[in-house]
Amino acid sequence: MEFQTVATGVGFTEGPVYTQRGSLVFVSIDQGVVYETANGTTQVLGRTGAGPNGAAEGPDGIIYVAQNGGQWPAKREEGVSGGVQAIHPDGTVVTVTTDPIYPNDLCFGPDGFLYVTDPMRRPRRDDGRLWRVDVNTGEAELLLSVDWFPNGIGFSADNDSIFVAQGDERRILRFPFTPGERLGKPEIHVQLDHGRPDGFAWDVDGNLVIGAITGTAPGDLQVYNPEGTLLDVIKIGDGQKYTNVAISSSGKLAVTDSDNGQVLEADWPAAGLPLHPFRDSDQS
């Protein structure tokens, strides 16, 4: 697989998302900004300050950001606390909620709510939360409190499960999901044999692509079939932190190369699974 650099000099990158307008949006945690790249040009979409740590597109072109409040590798900034922020198309940044403490990643669900992972950071990594947020009112509901580090998050194609990366345990957990109800008891969907799972994305064939990070050796992408069996390990380069991935409707795979301050892109053999709130349309 041949990767091309689509953005460079953009810091500790995370949270890639292909938008409805055809661009690629991603965050820079240490620079405190959210970028947008399209047609060979990368520009600042919004300045969030502190540590934007994940992104999701909502209705009306608004980009919702998991703001970690200045946790590593970001710097704390006066007036910016952990929570969820919204970047409007004109670049205006507003705070939706500050209930999540140090949120990491987020996604929309089939019920229209925003789901947010919220791990405690070093030195206390044994305290994590999962929130459900109404982006219209800012009301946040604590769904789950766990004794592990929740990271990437996403909904399955059939909408009856929510998947969460369990970092140090090297797992992707599946929680049964019914709108308006509490989450069901989790089960292990994927057990990685190396690397810590960070962000992930599905293609329309049901294959799950996981960004796996390491502390010493180069990281990689790991591809699993719908049953959770490993299909492929994709080596990219010398970076230890290929933190997150996104797959477009045209079969482009974006990877955030956080160690090298860049975003990479390659051709993927299938289209990406459309994300909520656009899954029921013919858009991705």
Closest CA to 84 of 123, 48, 35: 48
> Letter for the amino acid at 266?
A
pTM reported for the whole predicted model:
0.96
Closest CA to 110 of 41, 157, 150: 157
**Would you state the pLDDT for residue 282?**
40
Q: How far apart are CA 270 and CA 258, in angstroms?
A: 25
**Would you state the pLDDT for residue 6?**
97
pLDDT tens for each residue of 114-150:
999 999 866 666 789 999 999 999 999 999 999 999 9
3-state secondary structure of 13: strand
Mean pLDDT score of the chain: 94
99-103 average pLDDT score: 96
**Would you state the pLDDT for residue 281?**
42
What order of strands is seen across the sheet that includes strand 93-97?
52-57, 63-67, 83-87, 93-97
**Would you state the pLDDT for residue 28?**
98
**Would you state the pLDDT for residue 26?**
98
**Would you state the pLDDT for residue 122?**
63
pLDDT tens for each residue of 153-183:
999 999 999 999 998 899 999 999 999 888 9
203-208, long-range: CB within 8 Å, 24+ apart, which pairs?
203/247, 203/268, 203/269, 203/270, 203/271, 203/272, 203/273, 204/157, 204/270, 204/271, 204/272, 204/273, 205/270, 206/157, 207/231, 207/270, 208/163, 208/172
**Would you state the pLDDT for residue 52?**
98
In the predicted model, is pLDDT for residue 268 greater than 90? yes
Q: Which residue has the tokens 């947020």?
A: 133
pLDDT tens for each residue of 226-265:
999 999 999 999 999 999 999 999 999 999 999 999 999 9
Q: Cα angle vertex 105, ends 104, 109, to 5°?
A: 145
**Would you state the pLDDT for residue 124?**
63
Cβ neighbours of 43 (radius 10 Å): 12
Second-level CATH architecture of 8-202: 6 Propeller (2.120)
86-93, long-range: CB within 8 Å, 24+ apart, which pairs?
86/58, 86/62, 86/135, 87/34, 87/45, 87/46, 87/48, 87/62, 87/63, 88/61, 88/62, 89/60, 89/61, 89/62, 91/44, 91/45, 91/46, 91/47, 92/46, 93/46, 93/47, 93/48
Q: Cα angle vertex 209, ends 208, 213, to 5°?
A: 135
What order of strands is seen across the sheet that includes strand 187-191?
150-155, 161-166, 171-176, 187-191
**Would you state the pLDDT for residue 201?**
98
- When pLDDT is cut at 50, 70 and 90, the band that residue 284 belongs to is very low
**Would you state the pLDDT for residue 283?**
38
